[in-house]
Amino acid sequence: AGLVAAVGDWAAEPGPLLPLYLRRPDAKTLAERGVAR
């Protein structure tokens, strides 16, 4: 749940974090879920 919450913050600022989560496949999946939410 903590990871999902963190993803929410990333989705709020798709700037410097965009490439960060893109670099990690696991984070990418979580990011997609956060955006879909």
Burial (CB count <10 Å: 0-12, 13-18, 19+), residue 8: middle
Question: Which two tokens mark 34?
Answer: 């956060």
Domain boundaries, the chain: 2-36
Q: Is the pLDDT of residue 3 over 60?
A: yes
Confidence bin at 23 (pLDDT 50/70/90):
low
Q: Is the pLDDT of residue 21 over 60?
A: no
Answer whether 0.75 is exceeded by the pTM.
no
Q: Is the pLDDT of residue 35 over 60?
A: yes
Confidence bin at 26 (pLDDT 50/70/90):
low
Confidence bin at 12 (pLDDT 50/70/90):
low
